[in-house]
Structure 1
Amino acid sequence: MTGYDSDKDAYLARLKRVEGQVRGLHRMVDADAYCIDVLTQVSAATKALQAVALVLLTDHLGHCVAEAAGRGGAEGDAKVKEAADAIARLVRS
């Protein structure tokens, strides 16, 4: 079971909103919208995706990493490293 399983519907709803934002961006570019307006919407879509990522990360730490760390050993170490790598990717983006 994934860490986000209990909130899957909420994640799907958030992603559907982001999908709508991206489609809106496509329409804006197709309609030759003002550059700054397009950039503003790109920023909003980016922030929405970042919010999804942070909630996913929180769920992953609270579920997957916590369980593996509780068992200890190589599996726990691997999950902690995996989470640290994911955080590093998020910070770089």
Structure 2
Amino acid sequence: MRGHDDGSINLSRSVAIVGKSVHGVTSPSHVLIRNTPGGYRVGTGMTTTGEATVHGYTDAKDDYLKRLRRIEGQVRGIARMVDEDVYCIDVLTQISAVTKALQAVSIGLVEDHLGHCVVDAARKSPEEGAAKVREASDAIARLVRS
């Protein structure tokens, strides 16, 4: 394995782990898949057992964060509206817009979870796949009730 100036460790010709180096040990923050247009960036985390994990939403993380920051700004605007005693229906209209925006983020996360986490678990074992399907079904049920 050869270190690079950008903090990556070359694992092969097609994959590199990029992260922060502390005391000579690189902690992975994302994986670069080479030989693809621009290289796919796949974020990683760690399980409680120390195994690296990749979340389904990682590829769209920047988009999700941008949307959530926009929603955060809308919520602050609603608080200002209430503080300024704006007409009730106008406040409710803005609350409805925020609710729809959050629902759109939720739907995207569910799609990413199904397409990545559930599929990966099902490939590992039928039991893991069934557990992820149950988990996704419960999450969808919570979203429908909200």
Category of TM-score, reference length = shorter chain: over 0.9
Structure 2 partner of 1:53 = 106
| Runs of 4+ with deviation above 6 angstroms | none
Q: Is residue 2:130 matched to residue 1:91?
A: no
Q: Is residue 2:57 matched to residue 1:4?
A: yes
**Offset at residue 71 of structure 1 (A):** 2.0
State, as a whole percentage, how many aligned pairs show the same letter.
68
Q: 2-side partners of 1:83 and 1:75: how far apart?
A: 12
**Offset at residue 74 of structure 1 (A):** 1.7
Query: What is the TM-score of this pair, normalised by structure 1?
Result: 0.97
Structure 2 partner of 1:79 = 132
Q: 1-side partners of 2:143 and 2:58: how far apart?
A: 22
Gaps of 5+ in 1: none
Amino acid at match of 1:74: E
Q: Is residue 2:79 matched to residue 1:26?
A: yes
Amino acid at match of 2:100: K
What is the count of residue pairs matched by the alignment?
93
Report 1 or 2 for greater relative contact order, CA contacts < 8 Å, sequence distance ≥ 6.
1
> Of the two, which has the highest radius of gyration?
2
Amino acid at match of 1:38: V
Q: Is residue 2:100 matched to residue 1:16?
A: no
Query: What is the TM-score of this pair, normalised by structure 2?
Result: 0.62
User: Which structure shows the bigger proportion of residues in strand conformation?
Assistant: 2
Q: 2-side partners of 1:58 and 1:21: how far apart?
A: 25
Structure 1 partner of 2:119 = 66
When the two chains are superposed, the root-mean-square deviation of aligned CA atoms in Å is 0.7
